[in-house]
Amino acid sequence: MILDLFRLNGKVALVTGAKQGLGQGYAIALAEAGADVAALDVGEVNETGERIAALGRRFMPVKCNLRDASVDELNKIVGDIVAHLGRLDILVNNAGIIRRAPALEFSEKDWDDVIHINLRSVFFLSQAAGRVMAKQGGGKIINVASMLSFQGGIIVPSYTAAKSGVAGITKALANEWAKYKINVNAIAPGYMATENTAPIRADAQRSESILARIPAERWGTPEDLHGAVVFLASAASDYMQGAIVPVDGGWLAR
């Protein structure tokens, strides 16, 4: 049956930035599809854990600041997940931050902080997970790209650079790891109602101009991404490699 391809029973997923917002949504969606979940965040993930436990799935909190984490620490995190949950089948590289300032004034710290969390950690967590998945005989890595993987944006140079890089390494890793039956793809959310977009949504003129370009005529929600993440985590996407999948209400189609 076709729906069986989407089931994740017996799988273990790691989701970064899973305390709230889109990351919490990804974690809950994967649990609803049958996966046990490790949730990584710099803050407490109690609410996410309670909601996943209520679904009857195993849950493992992982506290980590990806801005400062070393490669050895990231490898240890993956090893601990395998030790506690038995395996690692799915990695969702969701954690991200944004800093806004004109390019002529952009600081070194704001550049480094965004690149470390949004791009560096994506590669090295993928590397750690990929080593485990290659030995297991396969796995799914889902990166979180952005509309700014396709566009330049305004006053967000480090975010645009990082998300363009995420799209690039998604394709690069897909090319190298397909032979290990590791699928590497990315979701590119459109304009979502999250903390990252709170300043834009609070600006009535900017928010109106954005909504005017979205054919769906609304901001996205975490629930709008549930189907995409389950699809890319499941056997239903076994022949997809290096795809950047927009879930944007039609933004890029305009």
pLDDT at 196 over 90: no
% of the chain beyond a pLDDT of 70: 100
pLDDT at 140 over 80: yes
Instruction: Point out the catalytic residue in the list 26, 159, 191, 239.
Output: 159
Side-chain-facing half-sphere of 134: CA atoms under 13 Å: 13
Cα three-residue angle 46-51-55, rounded to 5 degrees: 140
Element at 141 (helix H, strand E): strand 139-144
What is the reported pLDDT for 247?
98
Instruction: Give the mean pLDDT of 241-253.
Output: 98
What is the reported pLDDT for 122?
98
What is the reported pLDDT for 70?
97
Of the pLDDT bands very low, low, confident and very high (cuts 50, 70, 90), residue 1 is confident
What is the reported pLDDT for 203?
87
What is the reported pLDDT for 34?
98
User: Cα–chain-centroid distance for residue 78?
Assistant: 16
**Each residue of 38-87: pLDDT tens digit?**
999 999 999 999 999 999 999 999 999 999 999 999 999 999 999 999 99
Token representation of residue 112: 């480094």
Side-chain-facing half-sphere of 229: CA atoms under 13 Å: 31
Check if the beta carbon of residue 8 is closer than 8 Å to that of residue 58.
Answer: no
Euclidean distance between CA atoms 236 and 228, whole angstroms: 11
Instruction: Give the mean pLDDT of 192-204.
Output: 86
DSSP for residue 120: I
What is the reported pLDDT for 206?
87
Residue type at position 129: A
What is the reported pLDDT for 194?
85
Residue type at position 241: Q
Check if the beta carbon of residue 14 is closer than 8 Å to that of residue 81.
Answer: yes
Active site residue 239: no
Looking at per-residue pLDDT, the higher value among 1 and 137 belongs to 137
Cα three-residue angle 12-13-17, rounded to 5 degrees: 155
Q: Quote the CATH superfamily of domain 2-192+222-246.
A: NAD(P)-binding Rossmann-like Domain (3.40.50.720)
DSSP for residue 38: E
DSSP for residue 214: -
Check if the beta carbon of residue 188 is closer than 8 Å to that of residue 145.
Answer: yes
**Each residue of 144-187: pLDDT tens digit?**
999 999 999 999 999 999 999 999 999 999 999 999 999 999 99
Of the pLDDT bands very low, low, confident and very high (cuts 50, 70, 90), residue 236 is very high
pLDDT at 198 over 90: no
What is the reported pLDDT for 21?
94
pLDDT averaged over the chain? 97
Q: Is 134 exposed, middle or buried (0-12, 13-18, 19+ CB in 10 A)?
A: middle
Side-chain-facing half-sphere of 157: CA atoms under 13 Å: 12
Token representation of residue 178: 């397909």
What is the reported pLDDT for 103?
98
Instruction: Give the strand order in the sheet containing 139-144.
Output: 59-63, 36-41, 12-16, 90-93, 139-144, 182-189, 244-247
| Domain ranges, ordered by start, for the chain | 2-192+222-246
